[in-house]
Amino acid sequence: MKNNFLIFFKILLFSLLLTSCSKTNKLDDINKILLLGDSLMSGYGLKENQALSIILENDLKEAGYNIKVINGSVSGDTSEDGLDRIEEYTASGDIDLIVLGLGANDMLRRINPDQTENNLRKIIEIIKTKNIRIILAGMKASPTNGLAYKKKFDNIFPKLADKYDLNLIPFLLKKVALNPKFNQSDGIHPNYEGAKVISETIKESIINLD
């Protein structure tokens, strides 16, 4: 009976060790992440230490992952601006994962969704040629743009994620959009509490990478 208990204990201990190692090593090939977006990810209106990149890096550390997060987001950027910058951002060759969160400014400027989709497609293809992994952060259009525009714009992100087999965050501003508790006075940009919610959304997507 004693020997059976020892065998069971060793098996249990070995299983726990494997589980622990799996969690620790799951993202071993991810050392540096680039956030490529606009003011929703850049830290617009926030103190420097409240930027999404800093929050996300700390959240990942608390989860056991020592990963550097770079803020490559620029307020006002459209998908075309992102396309213009992508070669520069990836030139160093040390980026392992890009969280691509562009499109909101395209929608605000009522840019044709076909153009937005085309720009994002080109960005994705450039990133893929450099063997960098991608998480695509989706955006939703306001109904004030018209239901036809909204349907076409909203479909850009799941369509691209499906085409290029990307991990998709269906809506970057989940739980944040239209919630005064999580937004600055303009009702558009996340405040510090909102940035923490967005960080949690992105963190979960990173940890659950396929």
Mark whether 165 is an active-site residue. Answer: no
Instruction: Considering the candidates 38, 77, 79, 189, report the single residue annotated as catalytic.
Output: 189
Between strands 133-137 and 68-71, the pairing is unpaired
Contact 191, 179 (CB under 8 A): no
Q: How far apart are CA 57 and CA 70, in angstroms?
A: 9
Instruction: Considering the candidates 39, 42, 73, 79, report the single residue annotated as catalytic.
Output: 39
DSSP character string of 143-160: GGG-HHHHHHHHTHHHHH
Between strands 133-137 and 167-169, the pairing is parallel
Of 156, 43, 45, give the one whose Cα is nearest residue 103: 156
Mark whether 39 is an active-site residue. Answer: yes
Instruction: Considering the candidates 22, 165, 185, 186, report the single residue annotated as catalytic.
Output: 186
State the helix-helix crossing angle for 147-154 and 113-129, rounded to 10 degrees: 10
Q: How far apart are CA 41 and CA 44, in angstroms?
A: 8
Mark whether 29 is an active-site residue. Answer: no
Q: Which residues are catalytic?
A: 39, 186, 189
